[in-house]
Chains A and B, each alone.
Chain A
Amino acid sequence: MSLDITRRPQKLFASSTKFSRWTGIHNPYNFEFTRQDYGVYNTAIRNAYSTTLPTVWCDGDVSAEVFVGDKIYVNSGVYNGVYTVNAVNGQYITINTPFIGNGGSGRVNFVERFVNYRAFINIYDAVTDNVIETVYPKPDSTGLLIYDVSGVLRSLLNTQAQANQTNINEANENISGSFYIGYGWSLTFNNGTEDIDITTAERVDDAVYYWLSAAKQIDGDLLLGMDGIGQNFKDYVPKNMNGSEAKFLTMFETPTYFEGFPFTLSFLYDEDFSDVYLERHQQDLNVNGVDVGAETDTNLSVSGKGYVNQLKVRTPNTGSDSFDVWLETGDVIEDGYVDGGYVVQGYTNLFAAAFTG
């Protein structure tokens, strides 16, 4: 018996193994789970059990868990629905329905025998590992469970205005963050004489997902179907790979910097830059769009990783009409990132050696 994540809120970048796991929380942020009591290899006429009725071949011995007359849910090609059990023999269940062809692989759920089925999902803050919320949703009659975590994540939004920015880039922790999930299920098994409560251990998923206070709009690109980007922010996620062309989070095609006033561009600081610095590059342009002056680059602070960041820009030189800003990968982060208040690994041993020596 299992409950598996069968669709994740992530989009794969072409020609890579890297995912965008950023989604706006004013759109649905869905995880899709599927309940499967037993897997099904196939469904066919099996003369040993019935010469006229289809028999489902399960991936385990079900004879102690399902009985003649039970209602079960079968998903096996052309057989998709709730059927009455006609006979049970080891891994084989004959169902009381006309044979309409062979059925492929799928699943079977014992909806009458395994009752009170409900999942539990723990949503953890990926920075503190604290549980943000535990929810107990139920799958539908087919075993499908689509759970939208956006409502839980919206409770993390902070309306406090961000203070004045002093560093080159700063994380906006009021409107973005990260999480991961753990999940499992419980049910009551009625074996004909007694009810037995069963609860599984939690499975913690190792992928970290990112949220931001944002919403994408319907773009009518129906032809792509589920292959479309949808509510994922893939177009805005920089990745440490060739061809990454992430957009900045601005609604202006060309924003405007007014001299003497603060100005920032917002971007997503992705987990993919754990081993390498990001640099802000800037090139001034004259009225004809031609480069003037030298391109400049400045390292970003890594403390903003995993959040929406606001990027300050350099004041352009006199005579500039516009400028280009972009991010590039910079130096490798040598000893890992050490936050304020921490000491590097091995420091205490070095100190001890020096003291005794």
Chain B
Amino acid sequence: MRVTEKQRVNYVSCTPEEPMQLAWLNSLGGVDSWVFQRHQEYTLEASDMDKFEPVIRYLQTANARQRVLKKDAYMMVKLGYEQLSQQEVIGIKELLISPLVKWINGSNEIVVTVKEGSFQLYDTGESKFDLEFEIVMPKLYTSSF
């Protein structure tokens, strides 16, 4: 006796170029996933976390007015997909509000976040959409003083 609805699943046999699979916890408590295309190489975003000003007694022996104590650094990558249907966009948009997004890389799973404000949706006509967004990889460990 059947106890669930019949869930139709599309089957894509050709792998997208530069694939990157994300899986996320959706708001129904289930896990959804999609294989995106990587749209650019990894980029590094760094910022100063803390600075100090050393005491300077004689200018002739000084070599810095301000020093950095620690840096914040993240690797980011831009992902996207083209020619998506409306229902696919609705499903993918859930990752923007998901508390748990994972990059599935073979047998490795890495928790990532979607960069705030990076999600772009383009209407290409005929009810098809392209989308692009950036994900932030785990924060890098950096050396500090």
Contacts and interface: CB of A to CB of B under 8 A. Distances in A.
Tell me whether A and B are bound partners.
yes
A258 B9 contact: no
A262 B106 CA distance: 9
Nearest to A327: B4
A323 B9 contact: yes
Contacts of B11: 256-257, 259, 316, 320-323
Contact of A329 (B1, B12, B30, B109): B1
A179 interface: no
Nearest to B97: A215
Interface in A219-257: 233, 236, 238-242, 244-257
Contacts of A164: 107, 109
B10 A248 contact: no
Interface of A: 24, 26, 159, 161-164, 172, 175-176, 212-217, 233, 236, 238-242, 244-267, 278, 281, 285, 308, 310, 313, 316, 318, 320-329
Contact of A313 (B9, B13, B32): B9
A316 B12 CA distance: 10
Interface string B67-89: 00000000000000000000110
6 interchain residue pairs of minimum CB distance: A249-B30, A266-B30, A214-B29, A252-B91, A212-B29, A253-B87
Interface in B1-26: 1-16, 19, 21, 23, 25-26
Interface residues of B, number: 42
Interface in B86-100: 87-88, 90-91, 94, 99-100
A213 B25 contact: yes
B87 A159 contact: no
Nearest to A284: B11
Contacts of B19: 258, 261
A179 to B, nearest CB: 16
A169 B12 CA distance: 22
Contacts of A325: 6-7, 9
